[in-house]
Chains A and B, each alone.
Chain A
Amino acid sequence: SQQGEEDPQALSIQEGENATMNCSYKTSINNLQWYRQNSGRGLVHLILIRSNEREKHSGRLRVTLDTSKKSSSLLITASRAADTASYFCATDQGGKLIFGQGTELSVKP
Chain B
Amino acid sequence: DTGVSQDPRHKITKRGQNVTFRCDPISEHNRLYWYRQTLGQGPEFLTYFQNEAQLEKSRLLSDRFSAERPKGSFSTLEIQRTEQGDSAMYLCASSLVNNDGYTFGSGTRLTVV
Interfacial residues, chain A to chain B (CB-CB below 8 A): 1-2, 4, 30-31, 33, 35, 40-45, 48, 88, 90, 92, 94-102
Please determine whether A99 and B42 come into contact, CB atoms closer than 8 angstroms. Answer: yes
Closest 7 CB pairs of A and B: A42-B104, A99-B42, A45-B101, A43-B104, A42-B106, A99-B43, A101-B42
Please determine whether A96 and B45 come into contact, CB atoms closer than 8 angstroms. Answer: yes
Please determine whether A96 and B33 come into contact, CB atoms closer than 8 angstroms. Answer: yes
Choose among A2, A4, A43, A100 the residue that contacts B102 (Cβ–Cβ < 8 A): A43
Interfacial residues, chain B to chain A (CB-CB below 8 A): 4, 31, 33, 35, 40-45, 48, 50, 55-56, 60, 89, 91, 93, 99-107, 109
Q: Can you show 28 pairs from A to B with CB atoms below 8 A apart? A: A4-B42, A30-B99, A33-B101, A33-B102, A35-B102, A42-B104, A42-B105, A42-B106, A42-B107, A43-B91, A43-B102, A45-B103, A48-B100, A88-B43, A90-B42, A94-B56, A95-B31, A95-B48, A95-B50, A95-B56, A95-B99, A97-B45, A99-B35, A99-B42, A99-B43, A99-B44, A100-B42, A101-B40
Please determine whether A98 and B45 come into contact, CB atoms closer than 8 angstroms. Answer: yes
In the complex, the number of residue pairs spanning A and B with C-beta atoms less than 8 Å apart equals 65
Collect the chain B residues with CB atoms within 8 Å of residue A101's CB.
Answer: 40-42
Please determine whether B60 and A97 come into contact, CB atoms closer than 8 angstroms. Answer: no
Q: How far is the CA of A31 from the CA of B95 in the complex (A)?
A: 15
